[in-house]
Amino acid sequence: EPEVTQTPSHQVTQMGQEVILRCVPISNHLYFYWYRQILGQKVEFLVSFYNNEISEKSEIFDDQFSVERPDGSNFTLKIRSTKLEDSAMYFCASRTEQGSQKLFFGSGTQLSVL
């Protein structure tokens, strides 16, 4: 079965540093998402992306965050200047046709900000 691939699986960074989390969605999918989950808390929506632009973003997704689909296969989440509270598991997801919320999630990147 096709799957969403995320790299790296773990990322450790210093506060204030920039990080880029990478995702390769399933190849024929059209809609892309980032979610995050702080340890012990809910899975939270960050941003959705369609047709090369952001469709919706949450309050969490402030100016420090950006997303990009640079080459038609990768989908990246950049955090410009990381904070301690950005430590979380970040999940990428994608889906295909309109009219369905059947999302395929990657296995996540565990980001630790020290």
3-state secondary structure of 7: strand
* Cα 1 to Cα 29: distance, rounded to the nearest angstrom: 14
Binding window for other proteins (CB under 8 A); candidates: 9-17, 67-75, 76-84, 99-107: 99-107
3-state secondary structure of 86: helix
Q: Residue 14 or residue 98: which is nearer to other proteins going by CB?
A: 98
Token pair in block for residue 84: 């301690």
Token pair in block for residue 15: 């506060």
Provide, rounded to whole angstroms, the least separation between the CB of residue 11 and other proteins. 15
Q: Residue 33 or residue 113: which is nearer to other proteins going by CB?
A: 33
Binding window for other proteins (CB under 8 A); candidates: 12-20, 42-50, 60-68, 72-80: 42-50
Assess 23 for contact with other proteins (CB under 8 A).
no
* Cα 45 to Cα 32: distance, rounded to the nearest angstrom: 12
Q: Say how far residue 27 (Cα) sits from the centre of its chain.
A: 16
Assess 105 for contact with other proteins (CB under 8 A).
yes
β-bridge pairing 19-24 and 109-113: unpaired
Interaction site with other proteins (CB under 8 A): 4, 31, 33, 35, 37, 42-45, 48, 50, 55-56, 89, 91, 93, 98-108
